[in-house]
Amino acid sequence: MAKISGNEIRPGLMIEYDGGLWAVVKTVTVKPGKGPAYNQAELKNVRDGRKLNNRFSTDERVEEVKLEFRDFQYLYRDGDDLVFMNSESFEQMTLAADFVGERAAFLQDNMQVTLRMHEETPISIKLPDQVVLEIVEADPVIKGQSASSSYKRAKLENGLDILVPPFITAGERVVVDTNEVTYLRRAE
């Protein structure tokens, strides 16, 4: 880990501060009329989600934390746990489904994901940006609606509901954005 000064703290950095691991969300450099300049930073604790606003003077030093990015393969769900396998060492890791959150519904057998790790502890998970899923149920089209602005509800094979254009029917495969949980296009 490297020490950086308070004026080098930028959004996206991970720092160790006050005994915790914090992600820098945003910063503002303040130059008051009297006194030295400082960096006002909004921090988020990556372990418990707490937020903190703190001033860092230019002569204050904090530890910048480097995270490792490791590729894992999703294997299966075991109750409330998700089992992944390290793509290089083939070691298995079990994570609580709460760690992934509602996006756990997008996990498919053998899906490649990336875990951000700090000292062998997972901090966050990155799923592929898009997945292909089948529509198992779709509302009927209501006559008289214009096709350009109307959407209807559809249920995906993973149980999530999304809005789709009126021409999409049950049984079709569609591409879904895993970050926004939205329909993108028909699958080819």
CB atoms within 10 A of CB 183: 20
- The per-residue pLDDT string of the chain (188 residues; one tens digit each, 9 = 90 and over) reads 688 888 888 887 888 888 888 888 888 888 888 888 888 999 888 877 789 899 998 888 888 888 889 999 999 998 889 999 998 899 999 998 888 888 888 998 899 999 988 888 888 888 899 999 999 998 887 766 555 568 889 999 988 999 998 888 889 999 999 888 889 999 88
Q: Please name the residues in contact with 174: beta carbons below 8 A apart, sequence gap of 6 or more.
A: 132, 133, 134, 135, 156, 164, 168, 183, 184, 185, 186, 187
pTM of the model: 0.70
pLDDT at 64: 87
Using the CB atoms, write b or e for 130-141: b if 16+ within 10 Å. Answer: ebebebeebeee
Could you give the count of Cα atoms lying within 13 Å of 100 in the half-sphere of its Cβ? Answer: 24
Q: How far is 107 from 82, CA to CA, in rounded Å?
A: 9
- Output the six-digit token pair for 164: 């789709």
Q: How far is 40 from 155, CA to CA, in rounded Å?
A: 45
